[in-house]
Amino acid sequence: MAPVTVSSDGIGIAHLPNQKHKIITNLGANFTIMVCGESGLGKTTFINTLFTTSIKDYKNAKRRHDKQLDRTVEIEITKAELEEKMFKVKLNVIDTPGFGDYVNNYDSWLPVIEFLDDQHESYMRQEQQPSRQGIIDMRVHACLYFIRPTSQGLLPLDIEIMKRLGTRVNLIPVIAKADTITSNNLLILKQRIRDIIDAQGINVYRSPLESDDEQVTERNQTILDAMPFAIIGSTESVTTPDGRQVKGRAYSWGVAEVENDQHCDFKKLRNLLVRSHMHDLISTTEDMHYERYREREMANRKFGESKIKRYENPKHREKEDALRKVFTEQVKQEENRFRQWEQQLIAERDRLNKDLEAQHAQIKNLETELDQLYHHQQQGRGTIRR
């Protein structure tokens, strides 16, 4: 169909983008970030630095490893609502405390993978309902995987979990605490991580590159070249040698600035997440990761059939066993109480029967005495009308 040229006065269709903008502004957006990695890598600090507010509470470092014997990876959800220039974003932050903190981390990624699949499953179930108003969407749009800044690059645990994450979510590798290694070592570490990612076939998020605006294309290329992102997190203001107040960390040799591109990639990662590619992260989750899960599940099971549980959280199993034990004890206590009550009833019944028998015997004795008295009077006086 050939396009039709509209007169210069127009008919109003050019206002459609404005209408879309107004609708989207009124609705706001829903954005979910997952942070994954070992404890002590600054995940909470990064989230609070990213949104310049205390979204997540800090854990007590002294009690961080108190639950080592539990050997369970938990899922913590923090919800917040951000507003900037009349636009609201419902933010969900997913943390995975306990991941990678044990000597034996076999299958420690299963709770994380199961959570990602459960969110796709929940959304798919809600879409199949007759009424789809008020759908709760907790699908993860970006997963930041924090890598410890060591010369080894990626550990075997990192490779295993990243392989599985890359097929389910927009995976973004992050080198934590970039201020603890030198610039040369950081460049070597970045290249080593890139080589391992390529060799292991790990799917990481690739931001769109081409654009009609050359500056946007250049910015996208800069962001793409910086991956994996080396970051510094800090919510405290420090004074630089030249007298500036900046967010960063003060050392004896100087100040490591959070928003200085010469020191770390924090600004590039922030641009990727919340400024330039948030819409692409959301649409990629919807059009690729969710559709892939939906197609696979609907092809392998009947309509309405429940999802097969591949992982059972041992912590939940322990709670279930504890509840079952408490329930069994309560049943035993109730049974014992019932038996005691039954014995009391039987004893009371026996007592009443004995009392009744005694009263019955007493009545019989009275009747016997009355009969004897009657016969005695009849013999002594003659006929007596009874």
Cα 82 from Cα 128, distance rounded (Å)? 30
The helix (run of H) or strand (run of E) holding residue 89 is strand 87-95
**How far is the CA of 299 from the CAs of 128, 139, 294, 302, in angstroms?**
15, 21, 8, 8
Half-sphere exposure of 337 toward its Cβ, with a 13 Å CA cutoff?
6
Residue with the two structure tokens 């295993």 = 160
What is the residue-level pLDDT of the chain in tens, covering all 386 positions?
556 555 555 566 777 777 767 777 777 788 999 999 888 888 888 888 888 777 766 666 555 555 544 545 678 888 888 887 778 888 889 888 777 666 556 677 788 888 899 999 999 888 888 887 888 889 999 999 999 888 788 888 889 999 999 999 999 999 998 888 888 999 999 999 999 999 999 999 988 777 777 888 888 888 888 889 999 888 888 888 888 888 888 888 888 888 888 888 898 998 888 888 888 899 999 999 999 998 888 887 776 666 666 655 555 666 777 888 888 888 888 888 888 998 998 888 888 888 888 888 888 888 888 888 888 877 776 554 54
Cα 7 from Cα 151, distance rounded (Å)? 65
**226-241 per-residue burial string, b: 16 or more CB within 10 A, e: under 16:** bbbbbbbbbeeebeee
Residue 231 makes CB contacts below 8 A (sequence gap 6+) with 42, 46, 174, 175, 176, 178, 264, 265, 266, 269
Q: Decide if 26 contacts 62 (C-beta within 8 A).
A: no
Q: How far apart are the first and last CA of the chain?
A: 127
- 312: number of Cβ within 10 Å: 12
Evaluate if pTM is beyond 0.75: no
Query: Long-range contacts made by residues 218-224, C-beta under 8 angstroms, separation at least 24?
Result: 219/271, 219/276, 220/276, 222/268, 223/268, 223/271, 223/272, 223/276, 223/277
The one-letter amino acid code at 177 reads K
**Phi and psi angles of residue 328, each rounded to the nearest 5 degrees, phi first:** -60, -40
pLDDT the model gives residue 257: 86
Which runs of E-coded beta strand occur in 96-182?
Answer: 142-147, 171-175
Token pair listed for 70: 């539990």
**Phi and psi angles of residue 249, each rounded to the nearest 5 degrees, phi first:** -130, 130
**How far is the CA of 281 from the CAs of 103, 197, 210, 305, 322, in angstroms?**
34, 20, 16, 30, 42
Q: Coil, strand or helix: which one is 131? A: coil
